[in-house]
Structures are given as C-alpha cells and as structure tokens.
Amino acid sequence: GRLARTLRDVGLAEEIAQDAFVLALERWPRDGIPRNPAAWLTQVARNRALDRLRRTTMIDGKHRTLAIDLPELEREMPDIETALDEDIDDDLLRLIFTACHPV
C-alpha cells in the first residue's frame, strides 16, 4: 500500500515488491534471514521505488533536452541517401565483417 501511494501506480508497486521478494530469495539463504524480515522487504522495496523515480526523472529530463536539440541535430546530420550511394572502402568493410562475425 505504501509503495502504491508513493508511486501512484499499483502495477509498478507490485513489480517493485516482487523484485524485493526475489532479492530476499537470493540473499537470505546466503546472508541469513534478518531480524525483521518485513522491515527489510519494505526498505528494499522503498529503495527500489526511489531509484525508479530518480531514473524516470532523469530520463524525462534527457528527453526534454533531446527534444530541444533535435532541430539542431537534424541540420547537422548528413543526407542518408547520399551516404548510401558512396563507395565503402576496404577498412570499413573489414570493420563491419569483424563486428558481425560470431566469434
């Protein structure tokens, strides 16, 4: 309930709570069960929720910055049709094949 109230999204709160349970299943057998398991789960879920909110805020800021810079970037980008018509030199082909090789 506290997560849903903080995040204002029941689905996201449920997902974060499940992440906390998964983390408990990974850590508790190794580190031992904490003295207050409910408090541990609540704190882990709260930390995950805060991380998610920070990440969302940061991403929204980056999107706004990109939206402002987009017209400027479009002016600086080369014409793709012209670039496709140009010859590809051997070094670039070697790089492409090396990057695509499964080994």
Please give the chain's pLDDT, 103 residues, in tens: 888 888 888 999 999 999 999 999 999 999 999 999 999 999 999 999 999 889 989 999 888 887 776 666 666 666 666 666 667 777 777 788 888 877 7
CA distance 4 to 85: 54
What's the rounded Cα separation, in Å, for the pair 98 and 103? 9
Contacts of 17 (CB under 8 A, 6+ apart): 3, 41, 45
pLDDT at 1 (0 to 100): 84
State the Cα–Cα distance between residues 53 and 99, nearest whole angstrom. 36
Handedness of CA 71, 72, 73, 79 (dihedral sign): positive
**What Å distances lie between residue 53 and 14, 18, 23, 48, CA to CA?**
15, 17, 19, 9
In the chain, the largest separation of any two C-alpha atoms, in whole Å, equals 68
pLDDT at 46: 92
Q: Where are the alpha helices (DSSP H) in the chain?
A: 2-7, 10-31, 37-76, 80-85, 90-100
pTM of the model as a whole: 0.59
